[in-house]
Amino acid sequence: MVFSALEHSKKERHLGGRAAWLRAAVLGANDGLISTASLMVGVAAADATRSATLTAGIAGLTAGALSMAAGEYVSVSSQRDVEHADLARERAELETNPGEERDELMHIYIKRGLSPALARQVADELSSKEDERERLAIHARDELGIDMDALSRPVQAASVSALSFVLGAILPIVIMAVSGSSNRIILTIAITLVGLVVLGTSSAGLGGAPKGRAATRVLVGGIVAFAIAVGIGVLTGSVV
């Protein structure tokens, strides 16, 4: 029973540890797939040539990957700065007011359901640890909700976002390049929607979330995006 509980706990922590890079990878691949495919379908619907459509797709891939990388880097860097500022403040408080910090831990554990006596005992024991980093990690986790072993990594997030965007964008570009002129739009839409469903169910499986809900969400979003892109492409092609 104890072994099973430990294994279950390890599994849950492992899934949670995937959150940062999984979020960046899924967002990047999903955006690369749907934005590039929608862009090319819209251009093709305007009766553009294959060359013009592929040029638009490649330009969209390049701009999108750079945009994803820059946006993710700035966003995660801001989050990292906040984390470091909170940790610095907590470190200073542990040095100047260790008694108050111990009492804060005790009140946190009381709110979580421990009896006052047990909460005091736990707070005393945790606060008596000699390792300064270990004490800081305890307060960061319980007071701030920060895991010091999983701080934000801007470069990692930016790299994953850019690479996943490129991988997602390649699929509709290849489809548009090899398909015939008569079926390039239908084929690109169909395979892209399949790719979105596969991506949605895979990411849900990795994160431990319901697969059906994720697949439905990305499928509906993809259909709406393509309907709008085709409509704008047809309208633009008839006016310009």
Q: How many domains would you assign to the chain?
A: 1
- How many Å apart are CA 152 and CA 161, to the nearest integer? 14
Q: What is the pLDDT of residues 46-95, one digit of tens each?
A: 888 889 999 999 999 999 999 989 998 999 899 999 999 999 998 898 88
Give the number of other Cβ atoms within 10 Å of residue 180's Cβ: 8
Share of the chain above pLDDT 70, in %: 88
Task: Specify if 3 maps to a domain.
Answer: no
Q: What residues make up the domain containing 117?
A: 22-239
Task: Specify if 5 maps to a domain.
Answer: no
Stretch 180-209: mean pLDDT? 83
Q: What is the pLDDT of residues 211-235, one digit of tens each?
A: 888 788 888 989 999 999 999 988 8
Contacts (Cβ under 8 Å, ≥6 apart) of 147:
140, 141
| Alpha-carbon separation of residue 99 from 52, 105, 120, 165, 218 (angstroms) | 69, 10, 12, 49, 51
Task: Specify if 132 maps to a domain.
Answer: yes
Specify whether the CB–CB gap between 161 and 74 falls below 8 A.
no
The answer to whether residue 3 scores a pLDDT higher than 60 is no
Task: Specify if 130 maps to a domain.
Answer: yes
- How many Å apart are CA 40 and CA 234, to the nearest integer? 12
3-state secondary structure of 74: helix
Task: Specify if 186 maps to a domain.
Answer: yes
Burial 153-176 (b: 16+ CB within 10 A, else e): bbeebbbbbbbbbbebbbbbbebb
Give the number of other Cβ atoms within 10 Å of residue 95's Cβ: 11
Task: Specify if 100 maps to a domain.
Answer: yes
How much is the pTM? 0.74
- How many Å apart are CA 139 and CA 133, to the nearest integer? 10
- How many Å apart are CA 51 and CA 29, to the nearest integer? 24
Query: What mean pLDDT is reported for the chain?
Result: 84
Task: Specify if 8 maps to a domain.
Answer: no
Task: Specify if 27 maps to a domain.
Answer: yes
